[in-house]
Amino acid sequence: MRRDGRSIFSEPMAERTAALRPAVGSSPERAAVLDSLEREGEMYRKFRKSYGYTCDVMQRPARN
């Protein structure tokens, strides 16, 4: 069975953020982090055909 980004990343993240939400309490900083993660999941669900991640490796030129 082929697994996509939704089943590997987005759905587990949504479950985890929902589980952590009660522990946030009155901390606006913690709530902002969870809000950001939830928006990321929404973006993936909405634009999953053109949404993804890249990893870029760069090297600085040597100084002379």
Q: How is the chain split into domains, by residue range? A: 5-47
Instruction: Please indicate, yes or no, whether the overall pTM of this predicted structure exceeds 0.75.
Output: no
Two tokens, residue 60? 């600085």
Q: What is the pLDDT of residues 1-57, one digit of tens each?
A: 567 666 777 888 899 999 999 998 889 999 999 999 999 888 888 887 887 778 899
Q: Please state whether 30 falls in left (phi above 0), alpha (psi between -120 and 50) or beta.
A: alpha
- Per-residue DSSP letters for 18-52? HHHHHHHTT-HHHHHHHHHHHHHHHHHHHHTTT--
